[in-house]
Structure 1
Amino acid sequence: MISSIFEKTKPVNFIILLVFLFLFYWSVQFYLFDYTFTDIKMVPSIVVLTILLFSVFVVDFVVKRNKLTSTNSFAILFFTLLFVVFPETLGDSNAVFTSFFLLLAMRRLLSIKSLKNIKLKIFDAGLWICISSVFYEWAILYLLLVFAAIYIYDPKNIRNWLVLLSVGFCFFMILYSVLVIMNETSFIKTHYAFVINYDAIFPIKWWSSLKFSIYALLNMALAFSTFIHLGKSGMGKVIIMRLIALSFIIGLVVNVLVTSENTNAVMITFFPSVIFIVNYLESIKKPKFLELILISSIVVPILVFVTKL
Structure 2
Amino acid sequence: MLASFFKKSKPINFVLVGLFMSFYFLVANFFIAEAFYSLAEIFLKIGLLVAYLFLMELINFIVKRNEVTKKNTFTIFLFAVFTVIFLPILQAGEIIIASVFILLALRRIVSLRSGLYIKRKIFDASFWIGIAFLFYPESIWFLILPFIGILFYALQDFKNWLIPFFALMSVFILKTSFNLLVFDQFFNPISYFSYPSLDFTSYHQFSILIPLSVLLAFTLWSLFTYFKTIQKATRKTKYTLYIITITWLLSIFVVIFSNEKNGAELLFFILPVCVIGANYFEQKGEKWLKEILLISLLVLTLIVPFIAS
Which runs of structure 2 are paired with 1:196-211 in the superposition (5 Å)? 196-197=195-196, 200-201=197-198, 210-211=209-210
Identical counterparts, % of pairs:
26
Query: 1:284: Cα distance to partner?
Result: 4.2
- TM-score, normalisation: structure 2: 0.90
Aligned partners of 1:72, 1:297: CA distance in 2, in Å? 18
CA contact (8 A) 1:92 1:263 kept: no
Q: Is the 8 A contact 1:92 1:262 kept in 2?
A: no
What is residue 12 of structure 2 aligned with on the other side?
Answer: 12
Distance, in Å, in 1 between the alignment partners of 2:291 and 2:40 is 39
Does residue 296 in structure 1 map to residue 296 in structure 2? yes
Shift of 1:270: 2.1
Query: What's 1:43 paired with?
Result: 43
3-state SS, counterpart of residue 133 of structure 1: helix
Does residue 106 of structure 2 align to residue 97 of structure 1? no
For 1:273, the equivalent position in structure 2 comes to: 273
Contact 1:230/1:238 (8 A) holds in 2: yes
Deviations 1:240-273 (A, max 9, x none): 1221111112112112222137672111222201
Paired residue for 2:194? 195
2:236 counterpart of 1:236: yes
Task: Work out the CA distance in 2 between the residues paired with 1:189 and 1:232.
Answer: 43
Would you say the 8 A contact 2:176–2:186 is kept in 1?
no
Change (3 A) 1:210 1:260: closer
SS of residue paired to 2:8: coil
State the Cα deviation string for residues 29-81 of structure 1 (Å, max 9, x = none).
13332224459821211111111111111111111101111110111111111
- The TM-score, its normalising length taken from structure 1, stands at 0.90
* Structure 1 stretch displaced more, 257-266 or 111-120: 257-266
How far residue 289 of structure 1 moved from its aligned partner, in angstroms, is 2.7
From the superposition, tell whether residues 7 and 262 of structure 1 become closer, same or farther in structure 2 (CA, over 3 Å): closer
Q: How far off its partner does 1:292 sit?
A: 1.9
Question: For 1:87-112, what per-residue CA distance to the aligned partner results, in whole angstroms no more than 9, with x for missing partners?
Answer: 11111111110111111111111111
In structure 1, how many angstroms separate the alpha carbons of the residues matched to 2:289 and 2:216? 23
Gaps (5+ residues) in structure 2? Answer: none
- Distance change >3 Å, CA 224–CA 204, structure 1 → 2: farther
Do structure 1's residue 83 and structure 2's residue 83 form an aligned pair?
yes
Separation in 2, partners of 1:246, 1:60? 19
Q: Which AA in structure 2 matches 1:7?
A: K
- Equivalence for 2:147: 147
Structure 1 residue aligned with 2:127? 127
2:168 alignment partner, SS class: helix
Mapping 1:209-220, distance limit 5 Å: 210-211=209-210, 212=212, 215-216=215-216, 218-220=218-220
Aligned residues: 305
* Deviation, structure 1 residue 15: 1.1
**Distance of aligned partners of 1:12 and 1:213 in 2 relative to their CA distance in 1, 3 Å threshold:** closer
Distance in 2 (alpha carbons) for counterparts of 1:271 and 1:262: 17
Structure 1 residue runs of 5 or longer lacking an equivalent are: none
- Cα displacement string for residues 117-167 of structure 1 (whole angstroms, at most 9, x for unaligned residues): 111110111111000000111211211011111112221211211212221
The answer on whether the counterparts of 1:136 and 1:258 sit within 8 Å (CA) in structure 2 is no
Cα offset for 1:308? 3.4
8 A contact 2:102–2:128 mirrored in 1: yes
Take 1:256 and 1:249, find their aligned partners in 2: how far apart are those partners? Answer: 11
Counterpart position of 2:71: 71
SS of 2:135's partner is coil
2:108·2:121 contact (CA, 8 Å) conserved in 1?
Answer: yes
Name the amino acid aligned to 1:128: W
Kept after mapping to 2: 8 A contact 1:9/1:72: yes
* SS across alignment from 1:134: helix
Query: Residues 293 and 117 from structure 1, CA distance in 2 versus in 1: closer, same or farther, beyond 3 angstroms?
Result: same
Aligned to 1:156: 156
Q: Distance in 2 between matches of 1:143 and 1:123?
A: 11
Q: What CA distance in whole angstroms lies between the structure 2 residues aligned with 1:140 and 1:48?
A: 22
Deviation at 1:220, TM superposition (A): 4.2
Compute the displacement of 1:168 (Å): 1.9
Q: 1:161 to 1:217 in 2, by over 3 A?
A: farther
